[in-house]
């Protein structure tokens, strides 16, 4: 059993929100994930959330057409994460969970600006904080934003939701011999080029001793169980 966590940062990719459709929103997924967050929140866990935007737009793919500048395309990608954040905030409210969106790209009347003191005050007051707009900078990812916001919010753990039950030595969908890791060090992730998160996110976590748990979004009660210290998924930290 790992040390129990009091405050976590949940990273959900945009793809996860789309379910099998890969674009937009899947009602069943939204209901289930919002229900999970609600259960963990009622159990007393303090929760920050960073959502991706890949279910709506990915900057590099749009820029790849050669018509939209990469900086512009990434700004659009960050706005996609804000759209997801607004949707998920409302989903949470259906489940009785109070949540506030703080955005790296604030929009008057829509979402206030992210700041660490504001995020921490809201978490202390029992709100879920959804940190939107990525890092606010092009050429970064929402995985990096998740680790950055986790550090700013003094989270004990980043929980990265995926469609598989942890980190494997190869893609388990393609290679039946792929092995699942229960623990990894940051340096092993980098040396083996495991692509759990981009290198910026892994290095930022390593430099700030922020543990990451990669888990299957379909596991019932995962947030509560991982926060309690149960060894679900793959745990990445300094000494694996």
Q: Which residues bind ligand UDP (CB under 6 A)?
A: 13-15, 52-54, 58-60, 74, 77-78, 80-81, 134-135, 137-138, 140-142, 145
Least Å distance between CB 233 and ligand UDP? 17
Least Å distance between CB 214 and ligand UDP? 13
Residue 143 host element (H or E): helix 142-152
Q: How many CB atoms are closer than 10 A to CB 176?
A: 7
Q: Give the residue with the Cβ less far from ligand UDP, 130 or 145.
A: 145
CA atoms within 13 A on the CB side of 36: 23
For residues 112 and 129, the answer to whether their CB atoms sit within 8 Å is: no
Q: Give the residue with the Cβ less far from ligand UDP, 68 or 228.
A: 68
Q: Give the residue with the Cβ less far from ligand UDP, 135 or 234.
A: 135
The set of residues, in sequence order, having a beta carbon less than 8 Å from that of 17 and lying 6+ positions away, is: 25, 26, 29, 30, 33, 51, 55, 84, 87, 88
Q: Give the residue with the Cβ less far from ligand UDP, 19 or 53.
A: 53
Q: Give the residue with the Cβ less far from ligand UDP, 35 or 138.
A: 138
Tell me the two tokens of residue 39: 């259960």
Least Å distance between CB 136 and ligand UDP? 6
The set of residues, in sequence order, having a beta carbon less than 8 Å from that of 176 and lying 6+ positions away, is: none
Least Å distance between CB 3 and ligand UDP? 27
Q: Please report, for residues 50, 51, 55, 71, 162, the alpha-carbon distance to residue 80 in angstroms, rounded to integers and kept in the order given.
A: 12, 9, 8, 14, 19
Least Å distance between CB 229 and ligand UDP? 26
Q: Give the residue with the Cβ less far from ligand UDP, 57 or 227.
A: 57
Query: How far apart, in whole angstroms, are the C-alpha atoms of residue 141 and residue 157?
Result: 18
Q: How many CB atoms are closer than 10 A to CB 183?
A: 15
Q: Give the residue with the Cβ less far from ligand UDP, 42 or 88.
A: 88
For residues 103 and 111, the answer to whether their CB atoms sit within 8 Å is: yes
Least Å distance between CB 231 and ligand UDP? 25
Least Å distance between CB 149 and ligand UDP? 10
């Amino acid at each position: 059993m790992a040390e129990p966590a009091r405050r976590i940062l949940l990273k959900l990719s945009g793809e996860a929100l789309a379910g099998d459709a890969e674009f937009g929103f899947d009602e069943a997924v939204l209901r289930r994930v919002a229900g999970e967050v609600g259960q963990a929140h009622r159990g007393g866990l303090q929760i920050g959330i960073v959502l991706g935007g890949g279910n709506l737009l990915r900057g590099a793919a749009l820029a790849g057409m050669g018509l939209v500048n990469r900086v512009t395309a990434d700004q659009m990608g960050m706005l996609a994460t804000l759209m997801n954040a607004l949707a998920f905030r409302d989903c949470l409210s259906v489940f009785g969970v109070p949540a506030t969106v703080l955005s790296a790209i604030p929009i008057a009347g829509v979402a206030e600006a992210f700041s660490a003191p504001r995020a921490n005050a809201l978490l202390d007051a029992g709100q879920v904080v959804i940190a939107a707009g990525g890092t606010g900078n092009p050429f970064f990812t929402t995985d990096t934003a998740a680790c950055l916001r986790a550090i700013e919010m003094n989270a004990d753990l980043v929980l990265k939701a995926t469609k598989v039950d942890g980190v494997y030595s190869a893609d388990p969908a393609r290679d039946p011999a792929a092995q699942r890791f229960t623990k990894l060090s940051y340096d092993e992730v980098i040396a083996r080029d495991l692509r759990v998160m981009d290198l910026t996110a892994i290095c930022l976590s390593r430099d700030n001793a922020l543990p990451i748990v990669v888990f299957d979004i379909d596991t019932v009660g995962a947030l509560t169980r991982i926060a309690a210290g149960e060894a679900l998924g793959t745990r990445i930290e300094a000494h694996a």
